[in-house]
Amino acid sequence: MKNDLHIPVLLNEAIAGLNIKSDGIYVDMTLGRAGHSSEILKKLNNEGCLICFDQDLEAIAYSKQKLSSINSNYQIINDNFRNIEKDLDQINISKVDGVLFDLGVSSPQFDEDYRGFSYRYDAPLDMRMNQNSSLTAKYIVNEYSFEELLRVFKEYGEDKYSYNIAKNICKRREIKPIETTLELVEIIKASKPKKELDKVGHPAKQIFQALRIEVNDELNALEEALIGAIKRLKVNGRIVVITFQSLEDRIVKNIFRKYSVIEGNRLNDYINPKDIKTPDYQVINRKVITPSEEELKLNHRSKSAKLRILEKVKWQTYILSGVLVMKDKLVKYHHKAVYFYFKKVGICFSIFVGASVLVAVPVSIAASIRANEINKDVESKGEQPAEAKLYKSELLEF
């Protein structure tokens, strides 16, 4: 293992976002070098439990030692996190209090040249998170058709020179197989104009990202894992997701929206109260959380990180009946339900309206009675006393 140093990204923000209970059950879907897991475990007592997922046996071996030095209330599952529901069932856990996803490739994986993740070291084209998997980057580069390569590079790498790169790969492999990372880097550089090569950032970054996603089926696995984790949340439980590229963040944002927003019909004002639906989840931070300037200085790899939080909630519905005074002194009741999909504000508003009605009705009745007495007094005396004039002016002001 070339380098064990790993700095967890948005560590404080992620731990705060989970809102950890000391006796809760938490899942770290991406154990890695246990940067986040260690902090979660420190906050749990003997009743709490941490479940960790990872496919990388080297990462698991390293993290076991690190976590064991804190306490033993953890369990590591060597599996793809897309299988969260099946794996939790096997250890008799039905619901959890929080789930963390850190979707970045850990620094040691980038720095271990033999894994083939990095475009800076010469290594076999591998890129497998799970070393037992059969699909490698080498197979994709040498066996996929031109059309398949173009799809992978465009969809997962979003590289505008995908066509040129795919075409040049197909030409080169006719001469000899492409076996190493630097061979691929050379082809990518030859496929781009000089103005692109002069830009900040490595020219092979997007293509290597695309290959890694394809090798590990990362986007499909993420979608399945997110949906599975959402289903397993207890009420007030939270999911915290840290993404590092737009494809992942788009999936997270869309799934969070799907579970936190109920599409309705604004034109239907008279929905039966029984038919009103409220979401079971709410997005905690409408604006994504990003690294601070201080963190960016300490860890340049945190630059593209974005953090989103989803919480399972139990909404309460409050109903108010309005009272309308119609013309000709006829009082009619208009039973239109008004729904407030919030907790404390709804209660406060209900109390405010009720108090206003209790105060306004007696005052109005008293004013009407006093006005009738004054009118009768005026009619009996045939004149309008000063008291009546004054009181009428007061009524007008009221």
Output the tens digit of pLDDT for each of the chain's 398 residues.
Answer: 445 567 899 999 999 999 999 999 999 999 999 999 999 999 999 999 999 999 989 899 999 999 999 999 999 999 999 999 999 999 999 999 999 999 987 766 666 667 888 898 899 999 998 888 999 999 999 999 999 999 999 999 999 999 999 999 999 999 999 999 999 999 999 999 999 999 999 999 999 999 999 999 999 999 999 999 999 999 999 999 999 999 999 999 999 999 999 876 555 556 666 667 789 999 999 899 999 999 999 988 899 999 999 999 976 544 333 333 333 333 333 333 333 344 444 555 666 666 666 666 666 676 677 667 666 665 665 555 554 454 445 444 44
From the CB of residue 208, how many other CB atoms can be counted at a distance below 10 Å?
22
What pLDDT score does 268 carry?
56
The answer to whether the CB of 170 falls within 8 A of the CB of 149 is: yes
State the pLDDT at residue 263.
74
pLDDT confidence of residue 365: 75
Residue 279's φ and ψ, nearest 5 degrees, are -70, 150
Q: How many helices (H) and strands (E) does the chain have?
A: 16, 9
Residue with tokens 């020179």: 161
pLDDT at 338: 37
Sequence-separated (6 or more) residues with CB below 8 Å from residue 8: 14, 35, 36, 39, 102
**DSSP character for 106?**
P
The whole-number pLDDT of residue 116 equals 87
Residue 136: phi and psi, rounded to 5, are -125, 165
Listed residue (259, 257, 251) closest to 230, CA to CA: 259
Q: How far apart are CA 117 and CA 299, in angstroms?
A: 19
- pLDDT at residue 288, rounded to an integer: 96
Name the pairing type of β-strands 318-325 and 331-340: antiparallel
Distance, CA of 370 to CA of 373 (rounded, Å): 5
Give the model's pLDDT for residue 350: 61
CA distance 227 to 376: 75
The confidence score (pLDDT) of residue 269 equals: 56
Among 101, 31, 28, 38, smallest CA distance to 67 is for 38
